[in-house]
Chain A
């Protein structure tokens, strides 16, 4: 019996890798469906805030991430963009991360045509701007100074939807989809705390614990945390075949497998400890 525990404690990590791979592959290939139930979580708060905005509101969606965190954040972007378009809001897309501008363009253009939303009238992509918190601070005094042209070099004054937009005080909501620094924290510090613009957002699951502090103080209107947050938003928007919702089954099985490994690791630890104690 002791031999089993010794073998388990020295388990080849390739076996762990194979089991995790199977935990992801099998639910995907078998179309395993685990229904996602949305409780009273920060994801619902964000959805309800967006839902309560009057039609035609101007929302900044800041795509502050890159392809490495795309599996978690791109489904959020798509669900949020769809919700904003569906409710008749106007989107100013931008990015504090260089590669976020392309990912944002992809998310916005994917739904714009099917929902009858026109570029420069209902949405615009201002592109990437370096500077992080300082850039946001400058947006608070003059958005035109930060973005004299959009991503395709169309001048600010030639974009119809930007008429009457001067600074962050003209924005009804900022949604930052953030993979780190710069990201949500900087939007909260500058846009919300300094200029009073409501801020919501989405982040990777590992970043979410840090951002809960801003929810408790109402510095954020809501938060989507990781793939679950994205799946929640998809469920609330009615995107039942969304990427995040489909990802909930493999993630559920993978979490169970990781927890089983932790249990096995602890059982072997205690058995070996007991054996050592008996000696």
Chain B
């Protein structure tokens, strides 16, 4: 029974969504719309689960004095401050939540991502080698795209931005499309395997 119920739910929900896609009429439209709303409700519930998990992990880390536990109080305090200000004052403009978000969360988030520039430069210096003809081709393409992506490229030679667009539109697109079609086929086959109960790993190891 523990196995049959989740398998039946998966099969019924999956079949309804497939039928709703190909036959967007009643009763499949009604059933499909309802399932989509259920999904949004379940996904919203997952946010609370994530918040509870965050608290659990960091409280445990502090209690057991695990590695880097000193950062956990900062995480917990930051989380609680944002939750409380959001619940008490709301999330509209010019309220404490908005002030904290725009003046603390946003700049700190942007700073973290900006650090990538330093690591990219260091990694490119150490790893980007024209060691064979394929690597040389990659290196040449990277140079053209990097120059085409900034105005100085057009100042050096006005054909560089055109070369960038050509590289992105033709060779890049061919490669990307191959990867995307391959991945999509994988998604379709895995989904069908799950709907028909062949793939059961999502049940947590039950067989």
For A215-251 the 0/1 string (1 means CB < 8 A from B) is 1100000000110100100000000000000001001
A134 in contact with B39 (CB, 8 Å)? yes
**Given contact pairs A39-B154, A67-B110, A131 touches B149 in the complex (Cβ within 8 A):** no
A255 in contact with B39 (CB, 8 Å)? no
For B84-124 the 0/1 string (1 means CB < 8 A from A) is 00000011110000100110011111101110011011101
Bound-state CA distance A145–B190 (Å) is: 30
Partner of A266, one of B122, B129, B154, B165: B129
Closest to B102 in A: A106
A130 in contact with B165 (CB, 8 Å)? no
B169 within 8 A of A: yes
Bound-state CA distance A171–B162 (Å) is: 33
B149 in contact with A34 (CB, 8 Å)? no
Partner of B125, one of A16, A106, A135, A256: A16
**Given contact pairs A102-B98, A252-B152, A262-B139, A67 touches B121 in the complex (Cβ within 8 A):** no
Instruction: Kindly list chain B residues whose C-beta atoms are within 8 Å of the C-beta of A131.
Output: 36, 39-40, 43
Which residues in window 76-129 of A have CB below 8 A to B? 98-99, 101-103, 105-106, 109, 129
Closest CB in chain A relative to B120 CB, distance in Å: 7
Closest to B160 in A: A39
Closest CB in chain B relative to A176 CB, distance in Å: 17
B75 within 8 A of A: no
**By the criterion of a CB under 8 Å from any partner CB, how many residues of chain B are at the interface?**
58
B118 in contact with A71 (CB, 8 Å)? no
Bound-state CA distance A17–B154 (Å) is: 27
**Given contact pairs A11-B125, A20-B121, A39-B162, A34 touches B155 in the complex (Cβ within 8 A):** yes
Of the four ranges (under 10, 10 to 19, 20 to 34, 35 or more), the interface on chain A belongs to: 35 or more
B33 in contact with A17 (CB, 8 Å)? no
B172 within 8 A of A: yes
Closest CB in chain B relative to A275 CB, distance in Å: 16
Closest to B120 in A: A258
A137 in contact with B36 (CB, 8 Å)? yes
For A44-84 the 0/1 string (1 means CB < 8 A from B) is 00000000000000000000001111110000000000000
A254 within 8 A of B: yes
Instruction: Kindly list chain A residues whose C-beta atoms are within 8 Å of the C-beta of B47.
Output: 98, 130
Instruction: Kindly list chain B residues whose C-beta atoms are within 8 Å of the C-beta of A160.
Output: none
B76 within 8 A of A: no
A146 within 8 A of B: yes
Partner of A212, one of B92, B139, B168: B168
**Given contact pairs A134-B39, A212-B168, A261 touches B109 in the complex (Cβ within 8 A):** no
B180 in contact with A151 (CB, 8 Å)? no
Closest to A71 in B: B110
Bound-state CA distance A137–B128 (Å) is: 42
B150 within 8 A of A: yes
Closest CB in chain B relative to A34 CB, distance in Å: 5
B191 within 8 A of A: no
Instruction: Kindly list chain B residues whose C-beta atoms are within 8 Å of the C-beta of A248.
Output: 150-151
B37 in contact with A138 (CB, 8 Å)? yes
Closest to A269 in B: B129
Partner of B113, one of A68, A103, A215, A261: A68
For B174-189 the 0/1 string (1 means CB < 8 A from A) is 0011001000000000
Instruction: Kindly list chain A residues whose C-beta atoms are within 8 Å of the C-beta of B122.
Output: 13, 16-17
Q: Which residues of A contact B (CB under 8 A)?
A: 11, 13, 16-17, 19-21, 24, 34-37, 39-41, 66-71, 98-99, 101-103, 105-106, 109, 129-131, 134-135, 137-138, 141-142, 145-146, 151-152, 205, 208-210, 212-213, 215-216, 225-226, 228, 231, 248, 251-259, 261-262, 264-266, 269
A-B contact pairs, 5 of them (CB 8 A): A11-B125, A19-B121, A67-B107, A102-B91, A105-B98
Which 3 A-B residue pairs are closest in the complex by CB-CB distance? A67-B109, A252-B152, A67-B106
